[in-house]
Amino acid sequence: MLDSVLAGDHILRPVPDSHRGAAAPVDVVPVAAVRDADPTATPPEVRTVAGETLFFPAARKAELEGFCRLHGIPLVRRPDVWEALLEPFLDTEFAPRRRAANALALAGVGLDEAAVADIRAEVGPLMLAYNSLHWDWCHLGLSDLLDAATAGSTPERYRIGPERFPAFRAWAMAIADLGRAPGTSVPVR
C-alpha cells in the first residue's frame, strides 16, 4: 500500500486507485481533518474524521508521534478489526481456542458470526492468493487487504479492478472503523 507523508501542518496522501507503476498523485489532508492516530498499529496509521485510514512506514513511528504531539492529535489504540477478520488466512493454525477469542473480539465491534462469514467469504479468495506468495504468519490487516486487492503479484483473477476498487476500499475502511464505534452496523456491499 502506498504510504502517506507528514509535511508540516498536513499529510500528503497518495490518491487511492488500483493503478500501479506511474507516480501517484497526492491529496493534501489538513491536520483539522485528522481524528486520531495509532503509531503502534501495524503499520502505523492516522484516521481522518471521515473514517479513512492513512498508513505510514514503521520507520516513521517516532516522527508520527511527534507530529501528533505538535498538532494535538489524540493517540488512540483501537481494535484491529481487519487483523481479526483476516487471521484465518495467515500461514499458521487457527486453533479452536484462538477461533473463539477471535469471534469474541469481532462481536465486541458489532460483527456477529453471519457478518464475519460474509466478509471472509468476500475477501477469502483474494487473501489466500495474496498470502500464498507472502506466507505471512504474524499479521494481516487493512493495509495488506488493500495491497492484495491491487498488487501485481496477486493473480489477476483475484484482484479488484479499477472500476470496483473505490467501492471496495470504502467498504474496507468502514469495516476498519468499526473498532472506533462498537455496535455500528456493518457496511453493505
Q: Who contacts 173 (Cβ-Cβ below 8 Å, separation ≥6)?
A: 51, 52, 53, 142
| Residue that is last in its domain, among 71, 97, 113 | 71
> Cα separation of 154 and 125, whole Å?
11
Q: Domain check: are 54 and 96 in the same one?
A: no
Res 16: pLDDT: 61
Sign of CA dihedral 31, 64, 51, 184: negative
Whether residue 53 contacts residue 154, with contact meaning beta carbons closer than 8 Å, is answered with: no
Question: Model-level pTM greater than 0.75?
Answer: yes
- 3-state helix, strand, coil split of the chain in percent (to 5) is 45, 15, 40
Q: Domain check: are 64 and 87 in the same one?
A: no
Q: Domain check: are 60 and 95 in the same one?
A: no
> Cα separation of 34 and 54, whole Å?
10
Q: Domain check: are 66 and 86 in the same one?
A: no
Res 55: pLDDT: 93
Q: Domain check: are 67 and 86 in the same one?
A: no
Whether residue 1 contacts residue 55, with contact meaning beta carbons closer than 8 Å, is answered with: yes
Res 186: pLDDT: 45
> Cα separation of 130 and 124, whole Å?
10
44 upstream amide cis, omega within 30 of 0: no
In the chain, the number of structural domains is 2
In-domain check, residue 189: no
Q: Domain check: are 56 and 123 in the same one?
A: no
Res 78: pLDDT: 82
Q: Domain check: are 94 and 151 in the same one?
A: yes
| Residue that is last in its domain, among 50, 71, 92 | 71
Structural domain of residue 170, as residue ranges? Answer: 81-179
Res 43: pLDDT: 92
| Residue that is last in its domain, among 31, 48, 71 | 71
In-domain check, residue 34: yes
Q: Domain check: are 116 and 138 in the same one?
A: yes
In-domain check, residue 45: yes
> Cα separation of 61 and 65, whole Å?
6
In-domain check, residue 94: yes
> Cα separation of 182 and 106, whole Å?
10
Res 185: pLDDT: 44
Whether residue 45 contacts residue 55, with contact meaning beta carbons closer than 8 Å, is answered with: yes
In-domain check, residue 187: no
Whether residue 77 contacts residue 180, with contact meaning beta carbons closer than 8 Å, is answered with: no
Mean pLDDT by 10 residues, the chain (189 residues): 84 68 72 94 92 92 95 90 92 80 92 96 94 71 92 90 93 89 45
In-domain check, residue 185: no
Q: Domain check: are 27 and 54 in the same one?
A: yes
Q: Domain check: are 164 and 97 in the same one?
A: yes
